[in-house]
A and B are shown apart, each in its own frame.
Chain A
């Protein structure tokens, strides 16, 4: 009888030990918390819009914003030829807007000289936008330009 009791007690102890050990499993401290997906944070995407601008001309580039955030537009380089040393400090127009047909309807614009800081910054919601570069009457000949656009 004593031996039977001891066996029964041992079995119970083993069961309790296993149950206790398994209850400690799990990666959450709050079992009632609902599982949620990871928060997606849009990483700013830099793109380079390069081209050639003629006297009195303009050029535009369209891009897609995937999440609300700031878009920075920098007139990074203007050169009179592809040979190094021909950078020019000419002022050009830069505008930010939305594409319409085969055109870019500018809603915000600045006049800027080449620099490594963005004179045009705008908070945009998800959608398609465009940047236009244009001569404001300062060009005496064609130039190469590079515009850096950083958007979400």
Chain B
């Protein structure tokens, strides 16, 4: 009899404890990658009179470096720009632009504060009917 009373006590305590948890640790939370410094690389085909734009987030004040790393055909002169996402110029309102060929060092740099930005290439009248494949690297804070 004493044993059965003891077992009943244990079972009741377990039930009472199981019914009053306020811990939601089993719930899954959507994982959102935290914005942070990094380097984005993108490749796109630039059409005649076209643009190839890439958006990125700067997580803090710092310097953005944009490098046109390769073009195919090689040694093509194209425009390279950086700005903010907008509607004035094909999705990216450009702040600074240069005309350049591909290379290993950044052709365009800009001081930024945290926020959304865009960068990309545009035809300066050199792109033929088959287009130009461009690869651009963006190092941002």
Contacts and interface: CB of A to CB of B under 8 A. Distances in A.
A32 interface: no
B84 A26 contact: no
Given A84-B122, A85-B79, 18 more contacts: A9-B5, A18-B16, A22-B16, A25-B20, A26-B22, A48-B84, A50-B93, A74-B113, A79-B88, A82-B88, A83-B89, A84-B90, A85-B99, A85-B124, A116-B117, A118-B113, A146-B83, A146-B88
Q: Is the interface of A mostly helix, strand, loop or mixed?
A: mixed
Contacts of B96: 87, 114
Interface in B1-24: 1, 5, 8-9, 12-13, 15-17, 19-20, 22
Given A24-B20, A26-B20, A117-B112, A76 B124 contact: no
Given A25-B20, A77-B84, A82 B89 contact: yes
B91 to A, nearest CB: 11
B134 to A, nearest CB: 13
A55 interface: no
Contacts of A144: 88-89, 93
Interface in A1-40: 6, 9-10, 13-14, 17-18, 20-22, 24-27
Given A46-B115, A85-B124, A77 B88 contact: yes
Interface residues of A, number: 36
